[in-house]
Every structure is written in C-alpha cells, then in structure tokens.
Amino acid sequence: LSEYRQDPILGHWVIVAPERAGRPHAFEEDGPVRRAGPCPFCPGHEAETPAEILALRDHGAPNEPGWRLRIVPNKFPAVLPEAAPLDGREGLYRRRKGFGAHEVIIEDADHAATLSDLPAGRTAELFEVIRRRFLELAADPRIRYVVYFKNHGKAAGATLEHTHSQLLALPLVPNLVRGEMARARRHYRRTGRCILCELAERESRGARLIFASRGALSLAPYAARAPYETWIVPRRHQSHFEAASAADFEQLAVALRATLRKLDRALRRPAYNLVLHTAPLRQPALPHSHWRLELIPRLTRLAGFEWGAGLYMNPVPPEEAARRLRDAAVE
C-alpha cells in the first residue's frame, strides 16, 4: 500500500505511507507522549506488538516476559517485506512499491528507563544486536541501505515514551548518503585521506571536543545545524558499521553514554534524534568513507528558512555548546 515517490524538481524521495496515519497520536502536535505505563512495549504486553524477530533474554520463551531487549516489526510499518520492489515511471514521476522492512528495537524492559540510564555494556549490546540485523537484512540483495535511528521525546517525533529505536531497510540509497559519499570520495582522490579521519584527528584536541573514550570521540561539528548537535566518531577508520568489532562498540557505547548524560545534565533531559550514518550495504571496505553517529537535540524548530533553502540557522556556536557539554560533570 505504501510507495516511494521521487520529486522531479527537488529530487528527494518520500515514503507515502497511509498506514502510518493510524498510529497513536500521529497528528497530535500537542498531544501527550508521557504515559505512566504499562504500554505495548512493556513486559506482559508482548501480544500487543507483532511477534518478535529477535530478543535478548535472561529467561522465558519468545514473546513472553524475561527479555532485556526485543526487536519486533513496526505495527504501523512505512514499508513492507512482501511488497514487490518494482520501479515505475509515469511521465515526470518516478515511484516504487513500498518494499523494505521497518523494525522497532525496544531497548529495555523498564518503561521508565532511558538510553542514558543504561550501563555502557547494555548500549554496546544494543549495537551488537543492530549489527546482527544489518547482516541479516543485507542477505536480501534487494535491500541497499538500512537507516538506524532513534526519536527520543515528543519534540523529536516519538509517539511512545518507552525507550526504543528503529530500523528502516530500503531498496534505495538515500540522496543524503549518496552526496556524503561523493564528497568523501572527492576528498580522498584529492588528498589520499579519509575526510572523517582527518576531521577526528583535528578535533581530538581543541574547542569542539566534548568527550573522548579510547576508541571514539564526541564532538560538536564545525557547521552544526542545530544547537548542541553532536557527532560520535570512532577513531579507527571503518566504512561500514556492521564491520565494527565488539571492542569498537564498547568504546562507542562509553562515548555515547557520557554524551547523553552530559546533555541530560546541561539541557535538562532534552528530546533528541540519534542517527547512524554508514556506507551502503555489501560494498567492500571503502578507504574514503567512515561511519558515525549523529545526535541532534531538538531545542528549536525547523522553520521556513530551512524548508525553503536547505540552510540552517544555529544560535549556539558549536564551540560554546562543546564547552558547556565538556564542563557538565557526570559520573
């Protein structure tokens, strides 16, 4: 029922997904997200979600309590595995059937916990599980890219409070990823270096560094689009998230957890989006491309200027944001 459509003038792709209009609070701009629980993501309510794809359990059978992390198909999927991945043209217009997969990762059994509350070991385990899904989804040659993202809080687009993130497996490589890869390739051809390696080296000391673990840096990007935008960059060069090692994920988890706790402290637990940028599936290791996490607190709203011109206005200089986060003491 859903489909991908490309705008002939602006070039972007949209997933037109009427099923999504039915989800709770889909249009309640000012509706409540906070609910005391229990909710469909709570233990004992497993029947309210589609059957699980994967779970990490301490005890219990599938779709029963006893899990500490659970992956289920999205109940209101934007795209579906059973749709034929057909490509079509209709005069000016390009469309594709809404083929793909849309999954929800319930990150903890506790309704009240947030990702920043979990110990770093649990966050590393989360990345391990996401990697496993990347590899499983990549087995279908029709899937070309997986977007992993998290919406935390109402201002960030979350419709349920219980801590969770999402995977969207797509038959196309998003334009934004294509553009990023093309820029990185040009830089590599010109200089022989990975641009993110160069950037991480430069930022590993200086005014925009927020936190450093042995294996990963948390930094305010030079051209941050929004106040307190933060990138978490593995120090080791690697184009594909799914090629990372358990040790890489441990280091990433330490940096992510420290950053989230600093944000919680400095900005009073803000809403945020977390998104993974990585290279398209099933390519060989690329010397120019380097995966990373983007963390965008949602303190301001995008307005006409951003929609109309694709330009951003940021009232908080990244150097000032980094200083405040660096100074925020967390255990």
Q: Which residues 95-134 are close enough to bind its own copies by CB under 8 A?
A: none
Element (H, E) at 273: strand 272-277
Does 89 contact its own copies by CB under 8 A?
no
Q: Report yes or no: 168 and 81 within 8 Å, Cβ to Cβ.
A: no
Complex with its own copies: residue 120 or 226, whichever CB lies closer:
226
CB of 307 to its own copies, least distance (A): 5
**In the numeric block, which tokens belong to residue 158?**
């979350």
Handedness of CA 85, 290, 213, 300 (dihedral sign): negative
Nearest of 331, 39, 301, 31 to residue 154 by alpha carbon: 31
Does 329 contact its own copies by CB under 8 A?
no
DSSP helix/strand/coil, 230: strand
**In the numeric block, which tokens belong to residue 280?**
């398209």
Considering only residues 300, 323, 326, 330, which one is a binding residue for its own copies as defined by CB under 8 A?
Answer: 300
164 catalytic residue (yes or no): yes
Residue 317's contacts (CB-CB under 8 Å, 6 or more residues apart) are: none
Complex with its own copies: residue 28 or 327, whichever CB lies closer:
28
| Distance from C-alpha of 47 to C-alpha of 44, rounded to nearest angstrom | 8
Does 158 contact its own copies by CB under 8 A?
yes
CB of 15 to its own copies, least distance (A): 5
Considering only residues 12, 35, 132, 214, which one is a binding residue for its own copies as defined by CB under 8 A?
Answer: 12
Binding letters toward its own copies, positions 32-71, x by CB under 8 A: ----------------------------------------
DSSP helix/strand/coil, 100: coil
Question: Could you tell me which stretch among 116-124, 125-133, 224-232, 248-256 binds its own copies (CB under 8 A)?
Answer: 224-232
Catalytically annotated residues: 164
